[in-house]
Structures are given as structure tokens and as C-alpha cells.
Structure 1
Amino acid sequence: MASGEFVLETDDLSKEFKGFFAVRGVNLRVRKGDVHALIGPNGAGKTTVFNLLTKFLTPTSGRILYKGEDITRTSPADIARKGMVRSFQISAVFPHLSLLENVRIALQRELGTSFHFWKSDASLAALNDRAEVLLDAVGLTEFRSHMAGDLPYGRKRALEIATTLALDPEMLLLDEPTAGMTHEDIVRITELIGKVAQNRTVLMVEHNLSVVSNLSNIITVLQRGEILAEGSYDEVSKMPEVISAYLGTGNG
């Protein structure tokens, strides 16, 4: 089924809750190197699809393939080790540790030493250079010594991206990355996502259609648990069925 150009694919993916299909027959194809957005009005099934892909839910039927491998029954931890990582959900941000210490712990996780908190600072110093690079990548170098819990919301999200990048994912799944942010934070995080997407594949669920139009190569529109339309932002935003789906529902 995998053509080689698609990193993530679903085959007739469905999820039923007590007789109600939240997702029905979804065939999603995420191309390598794309920023692919999953959008739709409230109740369209976006979150359910995302939770199925990242194994927070088990499909009622259908398959999920990552780089051609069937991962339908694979655990979230094993999927992360294969290179597909969900940001903001698995990222560990410890509020009473500094930003540098947070990123260093994430790097330890990659090395299989996440719980070696008793190691001396000297023995962990080898991770500092890589941690500094990651903090610089998300624009947080000047805050390296600050406690994570003291960060404003937008910068805390940037730190979560840094801890996710510590796992060096091939594919990054972003769950509403700009939700609850100020305009300034949205601009900053949008630029950051564009930067980190340059050498990896990104799939995101996002309410803010301005963010979607700025970042996405391709958009899949869901309605009532099924794919309604797919294409570039310019293409799907002009489709009468998409306009109708959003009419009076907001950008959910």
C-alpha cells in the first residue's frame, strides 16, 4: 500500500462509540516533507483522528501505516522510537527545573537514561551543548536559566517543541499548537513551526485558519468524521462544500 512517498497513511480508519461513528472510513495520506493540516468545524472528528494516529484511542476498524509498516496496534512509546512524535502530549516539562535542565532530561530520554536524576552535573555536562543548540533553535537561549514554570504560555509551548525535538523525530504531530495564545505568541510559534518543518514531516490539527494558510502544503477537511475535501488552502477555501461546512460554526 505504501508508495514510498507517503510517511503516514490510513486505510479506511474508523472509530465507533456505542453506535456513533466519530470517524468513518478515513483514508489519509501524508507526504514526506509536507506540512499537512487537519481541519474542520466543531465535532468534525479531528481530535479523534489525531488520537487514533497517536494511539491514545484504538480504531474500531481500519489500519494505520507509518513508512509502510502497520502500526495499528503499536504502543505510543514504540511509535515515538520509530520517529513519529506527538508534541505537547508526551513532552515532559518540569516547572521547577530550568529550561536547560528540561531539554537535558529530554536528551537523556533519547539515550535511555531519563531517570538517572542522581547523576552528577559533571556527568551530564556532555548533553549541555546539544541542549543549548535546541534552545537556540526555538529562540529560548536567553531564558536558559529560568524556571520553566515562570515562562509565559507561548514560550512554554516553544520549550515543549524543544523537548520534542530532542527525540529527533522524523515526523512531528502537533495538536492545536497555537490554541489559547496571544497574537504575538501565535506569530512566534508559527515561525518556529515553519523553521522546524524544514527537514521533517508535520501533521497538525489547528483551529486558526491563518496559521493553516501560512504553514500548510496540503489540507484535509473533515466533516462528521469523514473527509470532505483535500488540497491546498487556496483550493479548499473556495470549495462550496467547505464554505458550507464552516458557515455558522466558526473555525472549530
Structure 2
Amino acid sequence: MILGDTILETRGLTKEFKGFTAVNGVNLRVRRGSIHALIGPNGAGKTTCFNLLTKFLRPTAGQIVFNGVDITGERPAQIARRGIIRSFQISAVFPHMTVLQNVRVALQRSLGTAFHFWKSERTLKELDEEALDLLTQVGLADFAETLTVELSYGRKRALEIATTLAMEPELMLLDEPTQGMGHEDVDRVTALIKKVSSGRTILMVEHNMNVIAGISDTITVLQRGEVLAEGTYAEVSKNALVMQAYMGTVDTALTGTHA
């Protein structure tokens, strides 16, 4: 049986592509309320795992259990309704709408109706207070009336987190949230992830080991589609198998001296 403090578990999760096994028998257990990082060299199977968890891919074998329920056969929309939200892909960010309007679009789900793109803006005013509250949470309240296209890259990512929060996630999947950012934006988004993790569970793929070391409770290392090691950052960074997987680059890959 799944443990009470486990929100997500995979059992023997496997995905094959025409004879190539991208994910091979992965057993993953994500603790409720934690920040759990999935790392590994390029081609390790991290993104494939994410695609399996959100059902953009169907597993060849294995089970996915969320809150004690087997969700292996469910469709992406069903997964999202359960509260598993993959940020930066499902979030709705429109460059020529204001920051506030973007969050309001994401909040329309709470009205229980279809999206109101064609309706008068007055019909959506009831969502403004909630939208502004979300923008305050991610540090964007002062940019509410700014066109999204004018935001810096890091602030666009913060907006994407706000639109994801609008979908009321219980489990947030963040796919390389700091990719392509400068140090200032990395620090801002890392602090934001830590802040919004309160009362939620986060599973993230991230290459920046400074980020991983700073906020992760548990790290799972994948290599060639299989779990190589798991533990805290201190445990994983000293693991001989992990060092070997990074082909001698442990000084830069795991000690955080290289983003």
C-alpha cells in the first residue's frame, strides 16, 4: 500500500520507443509537501518521466499512483483535474495581454464555464481580486497592467508560476524552471519556488545545481532511464556512482560551481 505521506508513486515505470528503452523500471516516491528534484545527464530519461506522469506519453509498463489512486490509464485532462499541473507548458501566457489578464484567463476555470475570450471584460472583473492576490504571491503586483511581452525573462517565468497556481495544483511539475536565466533571475525564481512550495508538493527537473542544493529535500538521479541514486543533496553529491555518471565532472555538475 502507498504510504500516507506519499503523494505520488511510480512502480516499475517503463517507456520503450521501437526497441529503445527511455525509462526502465523507475520506482519513484514523492513525499507530500516536499521539493523533489529529478536530475541526471542528458538523455537520462527525465523529460520522458515528466511526459509519462502528465500522460502526454503512455507507459509501456508500470503504474502511476497519485493520492493512493492508480491513474496510469487516465488522460491528460483528468490528471490536471486531479491537481497535477505541469508548469511552463500548461500555463496560459499570452504576450500581448497584460499580466493581470493572463492570470485572469487561468482563473476562469473556477467560474465553471468555458473561456470567455469573446465576452466583455466586465464579465471577468470578479476575478481581479484573486488574480492580484496571485500576482502579489509571485512579486508581480506592480506589473499587473504591463503587457507580458515587456517583462524580463525571469518575470515571465514568475507569471507562468502564477498562472499555474491559478489552476490550484496539489502537485506542481516544474521542467527546468531556471533554464536560460541570468544569476539575478535564477535567484528570484528559486526564492519564488521555495515560497510557493508551502502547502504544496513540487517535483522538478533542473540542471542548475545551485538551485537543487538550495531548495531540494530529496534528489533522484537518473541514468539511461534507470534510478541511479536517491537521497539528500549531501548524500547524492558524494555518491561514487553519481560521480561516474557525470564522467568526472562532479566538481562542476554537483558542487554548484557551474550553472
The answer to whether the superposition gives a TM-score over 0.5 is yes
Q: Distance in 2 between matches of 1:128 and 1:164?
A: 16
Matched, 1:54 2:54: yes
Q: Distance in 1 between matches of 2:155 and 2:232?
A: 30
- Residue type of the alignment partner of 1:155: R
Matched, 1:36 2:24: no
Matched, 1:155 2:155: yes
For structure 2, the residue ranges without an aligned partner over 5 or more in a row are 254-258
- Residue type of the alignment partner of 1:91: S
**Cα distance change of structure 1 residues 80 and 110 upon mapping to structure 2, 3 Å threshold:** farther
TM-score (norm 1): 0.96
Residue of structure 1 equivalent to 2:129 = 129
Shift of 1:142: 1.0
- Residue type of the alignment partner of 2:153: Y
> Identical aligned pairs, as a percentage?
63
Q: Distance in 1 between matches of 2:125 and 2:18?
A: 52
CA deviations over 1:24-60 (Å, ceiling 9, x no partner): 0000000100100000111111111111111111101
Residue of structure 2 equivalent to 1:2 = 2
Residue of structure 2 equivalent to 1:206 = 206
Instruction: Say if 1:105 and 1:114, in contact at 8 Å, map to a contact too.
Output: no
Secondary structure class of the residue paired with 1:199: coil
Higher normalized contact order (CA 8 Å, seq sep 6+, divided by chain length): 1
- Residue type of the alignment partner of 1:21: T
Shift of 1:114: 4.3
Q: Distance in 1 between matches of 2:126 and 2:160?
A: 21
| Mapping 1:1-252, distance limit 5 Å | 1-248=1-248, 251=253
Q: Distance in 1 between matches of 2:15 and 2:79?
A: 20
- Residue type of the alignment partner of 1:35: I
Shift of 1:73: 1.5
Shift of 1:77: 1.3
Q: Distance in 2 between matches of 1:210 and 1:235?
A: 15
Query: How many residues are aligned here?
Result: 252
Q: Distance in 2 between matches of 1:238 and 1:97?
A: 47
CA deviations over 1:55-76 (Å, ceiling 9, x no partner): 1111010010110111111111
Secondary structure class of the residue paired with 2:198: helix
- Superposition misfits of 4+ residues, deviation over 4 angstroms: 248-252
